[in-house]
Amino acid sequence: MIAGRSAAATRQGLLLALASAAAYGTNIVSAQIAGQAGLAGPLLVFYRVFIMLALVLAATLIWRASLKVPARERRALALFGLMSALVGCAYLSSVAFLPVTVAAVVFYTFPILIVLAEPLVTRARFSADRLVVALIAFCGVAMVVGPDFHGLDPRGLALAMAASVFAATQFFAASASATTGLLPKLFWSHLLILPVTLAIVQATSGLLPPQSLALAPLAVAVTIGGYLAGFLLQVLALARVAPGAAGLAFCAEPVFAVAVAAIVLGERVGLMQYAGGGLVVAAIMANVILEQKLRRPAAA
């Protein structure tokens, strides 16, 4: 399905993926600020999912849109919703046993998993060039995040690796449901995500009333807005570009997060992080060039 996309759609998809990574990166920093004000991560996850579902329902009623899903894509959409929920669950749970930096590095192996699995899951041919680019991007992410390998817990490693597998599966599921409309895709996926996040909140911090969000209104607004924009842009991107190319673009997320943290929180950025950011940018540029080269034979 994606193989038949035009080069223009592919470029648009890559730009949307980068914009999504930027939104998610901003979302991480604001969530940290909200956490310092006493608002736990699972609580923010629940409310952002709830708000997304409410907005989609409102848009559906206003535009009288259909929420119908093509029969051939219902399984893929259900898998997309389930994986979207499990990614957050596993990643969020991993940091209870691991330093955040280690969890991030393990999690960002998902672009490599996508590149390796793409020939098995889709009709795409294996590309050694793309695998090299993915490894370069991963090294860049590791340098940007700067992992501390002390105090590793097998439970945390297993959860972070599970989140990586879930993220890779999420990308393939989104690609397999590319012709499903935007509103039905957002509605049905979040209808699956909501009960999972509610269960996590009840098992961890407990569900606080909406008034509690006033403890850090600006940080909450940026966190929720960053998620809404990021998820929307991610869905749009994966309808236009192959999972492998999109996954590599998302390696920019921690780079954006570190840059925003440096500007907003005044965190110091060292030479190693600058070098890692440069590697990620170089890998993304190589990914764009490689995608254009792969498109030329198809166009011919």
pLDDT for position 151: 64
For tokens 């280690």, the residue is 102
Q: Tokens representing 212?
A: 């509690």
Mean pLDDT (whole number) for 45-73:
94
Mean pLDDT (whole number) for 15-42:
88
Q: In this structure, how many other beta carbons lie within 10 angstroms of the beta carbon of residue 158?
A: 15
pLDDT for position 138: 94
When pLDDT is cut at 50, 70 and 90, the band that residue 294 belongs to is low
Give 175's contacts (C-beta < 8 A, 6+ positions apart): 1, 2, 122, 238, 239, 242, 243
Mean pLDDT (whole number) for 15-33:
90
CA 108/CA 106 separation, integer angstroms: 6
Backbone dihedral angles phi then psi of residue 49, each to the nearest 5 degrees: -70, -40
SS3 category, 239: coil
Q: Is pLDDT of 91 > 50?
A: yes
Give 136's contacts (C-beta < 8 A, 6+ positions apart): 279, 282, 283, 286
3-state per-residue secondary structure call for 3-49: HHCCHHHHHHHHHHHHHHHHHHHHHHHHHHHHHHCCCCHHHHHHHHH
Q: In this structure, how many other beta carbons lie within 10 angstroms of the beta carbon of residue 98?
A: 25
Q: pLDDT of 199-237, one tens digit each?
A: 888 887 789 999 999 999 999 999 999 999 999 999 999
Residue type present at position 151? G
Q: Is pLDDT of 299 > 60?
A: no
The region of weakest confidence among 33-37, 146-150, 157-161, 267-271 is: 146-150
